[in-house]
Amino acid sequence: MRLTLAGRSLDAGLALAVILIAFGIVLRFTHLDRKPATHDEAFTALRVSGHAEAELVRDLSSNVRLVKIDELRSKYLLPNSEPHFVNLIQAIVKEEPQLAPFYYITLKCWAHLCGGTIGMLRAWSALLSLLALACMYWLCLELFQSRFTAVVALVILSVSPFFLSYSQDARHYSCWAAALMAASAALLRAMRVGSRPSWAIYAVTLAIALYTGLFSIMVAAGHVAYVLIMERARFTRTLVSFLAASAAAGVSFLPWAAVVATHWAQLRKVSGGAEEPGLSLSMLARGWIRQPGRLLYNLNTPLEPSSSERWLQYLATAGSVVLVLVALYSLYRRSDKRIWAFLLLLVGTTAGGLALQDLVVGGQASVGGTSNIPKYLTPCFLGIVAAVAALLGRPPDQATDRPWKVAATRAALVVFIATQIAASVAAWQATICPLQGAPDSKVALNLAAIAEINHARDSVVVTNASGWDVLYLSQLLNPEVHLWTKPSCWACDVTVDVARLRPDSRETFERFQSIYLFPNPSESLLQWAGEQTAFELKETRFGPKRDHKLVWLRRR
């Protein structure tokens, strides 16, 4: 009877796990075109189109004219007819060398087959997130030698609000997560099997990870430390095979390493490097405490949260920190060295490397340091998911575990999964998903202003914004809206003087009822607006404190 009941319990648990995983997959493939495109996604679409920001800036600044949003979108945000990748790679090299090209090459292939709308670009990330789920299962099987724990890790990853959000983002982070876990699982398998094909698989997966995200170098460093620890720094057959496979992956990555080295100044420019030599430890530590909560709950609180919402955020942050610390400590105390050394290095090398960069070189000061940007901590978060699965999903030992302890662990697992689902549904339903770990007030206010522009009839936007902003507006404004602009560069090196930009006196706006100066009009544009006698100068204010304004002209 006990065996029957245990079998039924196991079958019921497996069925529930399948339902939860399916639920997470459904969330990934719905609402793909509901959330507005981000600045980064607009640049992704530009890369897929085969153009560079420099081309857009030269086009619009050399011949300043009225142009329809639909015209810009079809030329610079949709795939062109050229199937090759030369233009894409050249644009990344010159303008965004911090982006390794593997994901964007695969995305271009996908866009040529299925279309380049923002929803279809996000669909590719969602598909790659399924590969990440499979690789997490493989990694946990290699680590824990337990299907039960591997299934628990798969469930946690599938309903995680953090990984759900990035599975619907047209950037490379879903691909990076899959590549990191594939390389890690391939390493563990190669160490276990020891065959040449297994080491070749590791070399290939590591090379793909390096060509997907530059911070994979830190994970590779963790792999080196792990093998040295497990082999006790002796030149065993395993260590020699590992060094050969790592060298092969490293040699294959040398061309892009040369690109990064020769374009280092450009990389620092577009990645928001701090001008200061470093950031203070106290500033960084305040952000580090928040990171577990951003992984596990990522609450999309309002810009002006109530006291109850604020306390809920504090509770989620504190609970997440405690859970992660307990999971890592339990991993160290209760698992083999082969397991805890691997996961602690996976978490520690990336977190430590980013923190060291912030302290010594300087990171993105505006967001509290590079080590406090959640997407860059993807390797750490993957390791934490596996550690939490090991804590809450450890198979019960009937010889040593008391029934009440098993029941308490299962109850904790159920509560944890339930809260993860609630947080994921909230992120899925939100108009703006806090990809950086916190709501962005600027995004919310810009969307409110763009909604006002889209609501107007016969409108034109006059702006001196950068090409980055022009592409962003092209994704969000109605196709029939016109744009008059002479954009500057955000990532390119084309010199354009926009300080004294103003429409020529011969420029006609007679057919427009409304002229919007957005997003940040210069003094020259504001002066020009005040001289337009056929229009009345207006202001619309947004935000909780009404401190964000949209300046526009309405025909008298």
Listed ranges 213-227, 283-297, 347-361; the one with the highest mean pLDDT: 213-227
Mean pLDDT computed over 358-367: 68
Q: How far apart are CA 210 and CA 179, in angstroms?
A: 9
Mean pLDDT computed over 57-79: 91
Give, in order, the Cα–Cα distances in Å from 224 to each of 54, 227, 243, 266: 40, 5, 8, 30
How many CA atoms lie less than 13 Å away from 27 in the CB half-sphere?
Answer: 29
Mean pLDDT computed over 9-34: 89
Mean pLDDT computed over 41-70: 92
- Which pLDDT band, with edges at 50, 70 and 90, does 511 fall under? confident
- The chain-wide mean pLDDT, for the chain, equals 88
Question: By the 8 A CB rule, do 105 and 134 touch?
Answer: no
Residue 3 has pLDDT above 50, yes or no: no
Q: What is the pLDDT of residue 505?
A: 63
Q: How far apart are CA 399 and CA 401, in angstroms?
A: 6
> In the structure encoding, which two tokens stand for residue 80, read together?
């062109």
Looking at per-residue confidence, does 280 or 256 come out higher?
256
Residue 7 has pLDDT above 80, yes or no: no
Query: What whole-number percentage of the chain has pLDDT above 90?
Result: 63
Q: Which residues contact 300 (CB under 8 A, 6 or more apart)?
A: 426, 427, 430, 432, 433, 434, 439
Q: What is the pLDDT of residue 394?
A: 80
- Closest among 171, 167, 165 to 42, alpha carbons compared: 171
Q: How far apart are CA 271 and CA 265, in angstroms?
A: 10
What letter represents residue 52's amino acid?
A
Q: What is the pLDDT of residue 118?
A: 94
Residues belonging to the chain = 556
93-137 pLDDT tens trace: 999 999 999 999 999 999 999 999 999 999 999 999 999 999 999
Residue 551: what are its φ and ψ, rounded to 5°? -95, 130
Q: What is the pLDDT of residue 249?
A: 98
- Give the helix/strand (H/E) hosting 456: none
- Which pLDDT band, with edges at 50, 70 and 90, does 1 fall under? very low
What letter represents residue 461's amino acid?
V
Q: How far apart are CA 331 and CA 325, in angstroms?
A: 10
Q: What is the pTM of this model?
A: 0.92
Domain residue limits, the chain: 2-30+96-104+133-429, 38-95+440-556
Residue 277 has pLDDT above 60, yes or no: no
Taking only Cα atoms into account, the Rg of the chain, rounded to an integer number of angstroms, comes to 26
Residue 4 has pLDDT above 60, yes or no: no
Mean pLDDT computed over 151-166: 95
Q: What is the pLDDT of residue 360?
A: 80
> In the structure encoding, which two tokens stand for residue 530, read together?
């005040």
Question: By the 8 A CB rule, do 153 and 417 touch?
Answer: no
Q: How far apart are CA 397 and CA 401, in angstroms?
A: 5
329-347 pLDDT tens trace: 999 998 999 999 999 999 9
Edge-to-edge strands of the sheet including 459-463? 66-68, 482-485, 459-463, 514-517, 548-555, 535-542
Q: What is the pLDDT of residue 286?
A: 83
Distance of CA 310 to the CA centre of its chain: 25
> In the structure encoding, which two tokens stand for residue 342, read together?
């691997």
Q: How far apart are CA 543 and CA 540, in angstroms?
A: 10
Question: By the 8 A CB rule, do 55 and 468 touch?
Answer: no
Distance of CA 107 to the CA centre of its chain: 15
Distance of CA 32 to the CA centre of its chain: 15
Looking at per-residue confidence, does 364 or 356 come out higher?
356
Question: By the 8 A CB rule, do 298 and 425 touch?
Answer: no
